[in-house]
Amino acid sequence: MDVLKALQALADPTRMAVFNCIRGCGGASAYDCETGECDANEPGGVALCDVKCKVPCSPSTLTHHLNVLRDADLVWTERRGRKAYVQIRVETLRALAAFLLETK
């Protein structure tokens, strides 16, 4: 895992907001922008369009940030129908945390 790349990916306010939004919703159920709640019926991540509801930025900016997060192995995405769903890669977070806690 590229520690520096992961840190750089998280070290941006907008990306952090995206990250928190994705994490904020249980991990395995989709957040619905309309109801403002997590929909446990819809499996596998949060829909991008719902992330966009929470994080104020243009669609292209959101795509850009997701690319960065994905490139750092912090999230993975999957397209289902028109929507793209995104989920956290917990292993990477664990690896990052392990790095920070390293005692040398």
List binders of a copy of itself among 71-100 (CB under 8 A).
93-94, 96-98, 100
List binders of DNA among 34-93 (CB under 7 A).
47-49, 52, 56-68, 77, 79, 81-84
User: What's the token pair of residue 37?
Assistant: 């709640």
Instruction: Please name which of 83, 65, 64, 59 lies closest in space to residue 17, comparing C-alpha atoms.
Output: 65
- Residue 36 lies near a copy of itself (rule: CB under 8 A): no
CA distances from 26 to 5, 64, 88, 102 (A): 25, 24, 10, 28
Task: CB nearer to DNA: give 76 or 95.
Answer: 76
Residue 14 one-letter amino acid: T
Binding a copy of itself by CB under 8 A: which of 18, 24, 78, 81?
24
Instruction: Find residue 84's DSSP bridge partners.
Output: 79
The binding site for a copy of itself (CB under 8 A) comprises 3-4, 7-8, 10-11, 13, 16, 23-27, 93-94, 96-98, 100-104
